[in-house]
Amino acid sequence: MFHRLVPYFFVVAATCAAAETPCDFKGVSVGEKTTPSSLMASLGIKNYKMNPERWQSDKFLELGKKYGLTSAAEIEEWNAGPACDSDSCRIPFGVGVGNSNSPVSVFVSFPGGRITEIDVAFNKTYWDEIRPVLDRKYGASWHVEQDPNFVITDLETKKSLTVERITLTHRPNGTNRHTGDACMIWGGEL
């Protein structure tokens, strides 16, 4: 079965000198069985909510008009804190990577109790610290795409900013050596 391992602007890459590219993040692997409690324990999260109440649509849309829908969703997730439902867990803070313990947010999807997706996101500020960690763990075999003209618009001021966007796709795809599940490893930076 093929799944997605997407560290959202961080990648779960590989250090495979003599082995396969792994499909894991901090011991949590695509294809493995899990529950909310075991997943959160594996990632070191002691306090989390189950099925937190979502914001009313008018509050969400108000923030969406001001900051954009993606940012509004991130604000809602940050305010909720670490949380799970029966098929996924979202950890907006509390997990760190690398020697500097750089902060990342994590989303893990496990419909039917089987992990199908691991997304790890981090701020651009940490790109130079986290990229070598990815190369050590997953290997430096990346297909790199650069878009120097990626436009971001501030919805509050209506001003646009052009930034460079870098997308990495790991070659080869990863494999969970315990289950045989394959995963795609990619990431990017804005």
Secondary structure (DSSP) of 113-164:
GB--EEEEE--GGGHHHHHHHHHHHH-S-EEEEEEEEEEEEETTTTEEEEEE
pLDDT at 46: 95
In tens, the pLDDT along 96-152 reads: 988 888 898 899 999 999 999 988 888 878 888 888 888 888 888 888 888 888 887
pLDDT class for 190, splitting at 50, 70, 90? low
179 has pLDDT over 60 = yes
Pairing type for strands 159-170 and 174-175 reads unpaired
pLDDT at 177: 81
pTM, rounded to two decimals:
0.78
147 closest CA partner among 163, 160, 159, 161 = 163
Please say whether the dihedral angle defined by the alpha carbons of residues 25, 26, 28 and 34, taken in this order, is positive or negative. negative
Euclidean distance between CA atoms 169 and 5, whole angstroms: 11
Provide φ and ψ at 118, rounded to 5°.
-130, 115
Rg (CA), the chain: 17
Residue 190 token pair: 């804005």
In tens, the pLDDT along 32-67 reads: 999 999 999 999 999 999 998 888 888 888 888 888
